[in-house]
Amino acid sequence: MDRHLEAFLEMLAAERDAAFNTREAYRADLEDFAAFAAGDGSTLMGATPALLRAYLGSLRARGLAARSQARRLSALRQFYRFLLREGIRAEDPSAGLDSPRPSKKLPKYLDPAEIVALLEAAARLPGQAGPTAVAALELLYATGLRVSELLALSPAAITAGEAMILVRGKGGKERIVPLSPIAAAAAERLLAGQGKPAGRESRRWLFPGRDPRRPLTRQGLALLFKQAALAAGLDPALVSPHVLRHSFATHLLANGADLRSLQTLLGHSAIATTEIYTHVSAGRLQAAVARHHPLARRRS
């Protein structure tokens, strides 16, 4: 292996505390470029801007997605910045290159009728699976919580008569989220059905796992949602905690919520992250015009 590549990987471990899998991903990306450079009679150390542009062109020709191309270029940039900082190279050949821009994927979401069908099907699941699935669905759709935020909730977060809950989100940031009476009632029914131990203050998790000392896992919740989706006649691939979060945001925006309020509710640090839902709403408006405008189907 190139000694400078080895030094770069050691820096990632020592200075950035990069995980083993992260370092291996960098290694694979840089060795892929090194192989391309060798085919052009060059080396990893001797790369020029022209060679890097040719490499990016080869990635497009190989059919790599823009996101994968951008990741490869990011690895190269960090490598050459490291060499520049260490005085090993006098210039950064990647400095003038534009990163490929991944196309924004519109989030998947369910229609309100599908949400209702999902809730009704979840209520029919046997045993404790029913109340658990209903409470999870109601809370996700009523609040837009991330799955990690949902599964971290304690019973104390649900207080009778309170219309708000305190949520700890990404980076430990806290936010206040409104809670609908229906979602609160579903959580109360879940707690009542859990029985012991007495006193919700002694329970650690609103959604406990098989071991009550630990919360329900993402996989366990995904299985409950799959069962509810199948019972509702929906494609299980379209039903997930993230789809419920997207449905919450899409339906709020479609019914008049402003973007800043939605940003706060979702816990997005940047408004640009929330703006993707404007594309969803625009698509819904376009479809509505196509369906209902009397001259929409007129041929030009």
Catalytic residue set: 146, 170, 242, 245, 268, 277
DSSP string, 12-76: HHHHS---HHHHHHHHHHHHHHHHHHHHTT--STT--HHHHHHHHHHHHHTT--HHHHHHHHHHH
Strand, helix or coil for residue 102:
coil
* Cα atoms found within 13 Å of the Cα of residue 230, Cβ hemisphere only: 6
Question: Where do we find the tokens 């015009």?
Answer: 289
Tell me the residue type at 228.
Answer: A
Burial 150-173 (b: 16+ CB within 10 A, else e): bbbbebebbeeeeeebebebeeee
Q: Residue 168's beta-bridge partner residues?
A: 174
99's tokens: 């990163």
Task: Compute CA distances 257 → 106, 131, 211, 260, whole Å.
Answer: 19, 30, 40, 9
Cβ-based neighbours of 226, under 8 Å, separated by 6 or more: 236, 239
- Phi/psi zone of residue 299: left (φ > 0), alpha (ψ -120 to 50 degrees), beta? beta
Q: Round to whole Å and give the CA distance between 267 and 290.
A: 34
